[in-house]
Amino acid sequence: MKLLVTLKRTPQRDARIRISEAGDSLDLDNVQFEVNPFDELAVEEALRIREAGAEVEVVVVTVGGEECQQQLISALAMGADRAVRVEPSGQSLDSLRVAGALVAVARREEPDLVLAGKLAVDDECGQVPAMMAGLLGWPQANQASSVELSEDASSLRVVCEVDAGLETVTLALPAVVMADLRLNEPRYASLPGIMKAKKKPVEVLALDELGDAGSTRSRVTGFRALEEKSPGVRIDTAEELVRALEERKLV
């Protein structure tokens, strides 16, 4: 069985992100990067499926320049077997092109399951994995909080955290599953894991060789800060609070 985990390099979760002076880009010079936390959950889930006893190869893939190498190595250090990086050669890609590139990799690798985070914490679009499912024609489950492989490894039972509660679905493999917060707790890479990761193969594929459509139709053209909120008032008692809310006709 083969599991393909897609991941993205994103700024560290507590990083302070500044807008460039021109307002058209972000100043990321002094920012540290990591594996998108939701993708880390996907890596962890793949490793757990392997550890549950199935004969499994875990392949991680990202689309991005050489700077993404470190995040692939982080996933290899957690325990993934090998990595693939799609090199976009400086082109800026929208979600559909990223999904297209990842689907091209999926067609080469022929995995039984694609695992991904439900959202990247930088742009927060949450589009790529579901686009992959659409392009591949595979069933999908989003916001997964529990994943269980059937005994014959032909299907998955997935619990999803939806607006109305917990939804259970079954997916025949191959399928695409997107990890949510409560799916698991990702492990830290061990020291031997980190040493081994350096020797694991990382294949680099050029975007142009993967049948890329070549046109980016969605782009971010500017950033701005949130409007400053005027400071609120401190109140001392419950009565005073009710009076203030009454004055605003809120209760």
| Alpha carbons 32 and 26: distance in angstroms, whole number | 14
Instruction: Sort 172 into a burial class: Cβ within 10 Å, 0-12 / 13-18 / 19+.
Output: exposed
The DSSP H or E segment spanning 161 is strand 155-162
Q: Which stretch binds other proteins (CB under 8 A): 48-56, 66-74, 75-83, 231-239?
A: 231-239
Please say which residue, 107 or 201, places its beta carbon nearer to other proteins.
107
**Residues within window 158-217 making contact with other proteins, judged by CB under 8 A:** 160-173, 175, 180-182, 217
Please say which residue, 53 or 137, places its beta carbon nearer to other proteins.
137
For residue 185, report the phi and psi dihedrals to the nearest 5 degrees. -120, 110
Compute CA 124 distance to the chain's CA centroid, rounded to the nearest angstrom. 10
Q: Which stretch binds other proteins (CB under 8 A): 1-9, 44-52, 62-70, 224-232?
A: 224-232
State the minimum distance, in angstroms, from the CB of residue 183 to other proteins.
12
Residues contacting residue 188 through CB under 8 Å, at least 6 positions apart: none
Q: Which of 92, 151, 198, 248 binds other proteins (CB under 8 A)?
A: 248
Q: Does 105 bind other proteins (CB under 8 A)?
A: no
Q: Does 242 bind other proteins (CB under 8 A)?
A: yes
Please say which residue, 44 or 83, places its beta carbon nearer to other proteins.
44
Q: Which of 121, 153, 194, 210 binds other proteins (CB under 8 A)?
A: 121
Q: What is the DSSP letter of 154?
A: S
Q: Which of 64, 79, 139, 186 binds other proteins (CB under 8 A)?
A: 139
In terms of DSSP H, where are the helices of 81-214?
A: 95-109, 128-136, 191-197
Q: Which residue, chain included where needed, has tokens 């993934």?
A: 80
Q: Which stretch binds other proteins (CB under 8 A): 49-57, 63-71, 117-125, 202-210?
A: 117-125
